[in-house]
Structure 1
Amino acid sequence: MEDKSYKEYLGQITTFIFDVDGVLTDGTVTLTTDGQLLRTMHVKDGFAMKTALLNGFNICIISGGTNEGVRVRLRDLGITDIYLGAHNKMEQFNEYLDIYEIRPENVLYMGDDVPDYPVMKEVGLPCCPQDAVQEIKSISKYVSHKNGGRGAVRDVIEQVLKVQGKWHSDFDAKSF
């Protein structure tokens, strides 16, 4: 039996869950002389996440990283469900779904590396950036044409919102 096209899943998505390093960032870390680890996030991904939140979607971040700068950036966008230091992502995934009574088939999860694998096997729409590792690409129903930290998050959010009629070309600037 042929698997459904990923586009058939877009209409049932209510929740986005993203990894950070390699998804919201390009996976590189810049080291400063005092030991700070600096990451770069794409503003278009941020705009898309804020747009999704304003349209009633749930957004959760589950990352093995512990950089508090990441938390600050995401909170500034309005994201409140942020799990950093997640070494077993299934625990945070299950907790999040239980708290908000979300069904796994309504979740789009974007990951890029092996720690994301268990959660991606459980969700309705597992996705990854173009530069994800092969193990993750092999279980993804959609592989973005964008790399991590370079618009992959915007790509999937925009597709979901467009299919659901919630992406508008005439945005109200007061909302942002």
Structure 2
Amino acid sequence: MLDKLKDITTFIFDVDGVLTDGAVFVAESGEQSRAFNIKDGYALQLAVKLGYNVCAISGSRSKVALHRLNSLGITDVYLGSSMKTEKLKTYMEERGISPSQVMYMGDDIPDVEAMKMVALPVCPADAAEEIKAISAYVSPISGGKGCAREMIEKVLKVQQKWMGAEAYSW
């Protein structure tokens, strides 16, 4: 896996189960919310600052997720995507991104086909067994607990971009 890290320019993440732990909190009003990990947030915004492509593709239509990701500088957020492969294909074509440059972190069945399209499919520790079976790397960290941070940090360290001046301003 380490040899693939040097070519990564693009991070694609599912939201629920990857950037969150998959729990959905429902208020009496019916409004839903999710919890995001601050360490993931730090790494995500740093990757954006460093010029990496950072994208979220989710079947969810959560406005909370959209607001959180936009606040980190992530503008490529595709919610309500039942066909993740089509969204991923279009995203890569529009930006001239090769599959060899992409890390995709997913956790469940809707991510399978999209993960097969990229060079570095990875998943959190608590991903579905089918996802673990196709992943080049299974993080020891569960979804929503810092697994996105772990992968971004690994890539930046291999590419010698971790702990640069950008790392200190958030």
Q: Alignment partner of 1:60: what SS?
A: strand
Runs of 4+ in structure 1 deviating by more than 2 angstroms, as ranges, are 169-173
2:71 aligns with one of 76, 79, 90: 76
Which amino acid in 1 is paired with 2:151? V
2:163 aligns with one of 162, 168, 171: 168
Alpha-carbon separation, structure 2, partners of 1:53 and 1:167: 13
1:39-94 deviation line (CA, Å, top 9, x unaligned): 10000000001111111110010000001111111011000100000000011101
Identity %: 49
Aligned to 1:136: 131
Which amino acid in 1 is paired with 2:160? G
Aligned to 1:113: 108
Q: Alignment partner of 2:23: what SS?
A: coil
Q: Alignment partner of 1:61: what SS?
A: strand
1:21 aligns with 2:19: no
2:120 aligns with one of 114, 118, 125: 125
Q: Alignment partner of 2:127: what SS?
A: coil
Alpha-carbon separation, structure 1, partners of 2:56 and 2:116: 17
Unaligned runs of 5+ in 2: none
Which amino acid in 2 is paired with 1:76? S
Which amino acid in 1 is paired with 2:53? N
1:54 aligns with 2:49: yes
TM-score by length of 1: 0.94
Alpha-carbon separation, structure 2, partners of 1:8 and 1:31: 43
Which amino acid in 1 is paired with 2:142? N
- RMSD over equivalenced CA pairs, Å: 1.1
1:97 aligns with 2:92: yes
8 Å contact kept, 2:126–2:143: yes
Unaligned runs of 5+ in 1: 1-5
Aligned to 1:150: 145
Alpha-carbon separation, structure 1, partners of 2:77 and 2:158: 26
Alpha-carbon separation, structure 2, partners of 1:22 and 1:69: 15
Aligned to 1:87: 82
Q: Alignment partner of 1:108: what SS?
A: strand
Aligned to 1:45: 40
Alpha-carbon separation, structure 1, partners of 2:154 and 2:167: 20
Q: Could you say if the C-alpha distance between residues 96 and 35 of structure 1 is closer, same or farther in structure 2, counting changes exceeding 3 Å?
A: same
Which amino acid in 1 is paired with 2:4? Y
Q: Could you say if the C-alpha distance between residues 169 and 102 of structure 1 is closer, same or farther in structure 2, counting changes exceeding 3 Å?
A: closer
